[in-house]
Amino acid sequence: MTGQAFLGFATQASLLMILLGLAVAFIRLARGPSLADRVVALDMMTVTIISFCGVYAVFMDEPSFLDVAIVLALVGFLATVALARYAERRLERDKEQQRLAQAEETKP
């Protein structure tokens, strides 16, 4: 087996495994019982798409896909930070509503 043939086989196998991981992450995104599960699944999908771009760039010998991967990594990071901030504020709001409900129950 030549080096070129092995590289072709390895990249095709990698692309297949990445697509499998993407499918599993999508299932978790759709079925996740909590917001945290969905955020982690979305982050995993972003990472798998970035890795797909990298492996595809090697497979097609086209380095422009690496630029796409870098931009996607930056956007994915910002999306993860934004979703984490949203989840934190939602948790604080729920705690405040629970505290107010308990205060209403204890009033004479």
Domain ranges of the chain: 3-106
Distances (CA, A) of 77 to 20, 21, 31, 36, 106: 22, 19, 23, 16, 44
Average pLDDT, the chain: 91
On the question of pLDDT at 91 being above 90, the answer is no
Residue 108 pLDDT class (50, 70, 90 cuts): low
Architecture of domain 3-106: Orthogonal Bundle (1.10)
Quote the pLDDT of residue 104: 82
The more confidently predicted of residues 48 and 102 is 48
Global pTM value = 0.80
| Tens-place pLDDT, residues 11-20 | 999 999 999 9
| DSSP character at residue 2 | -
Quote the pLDDT of residue 67: 93
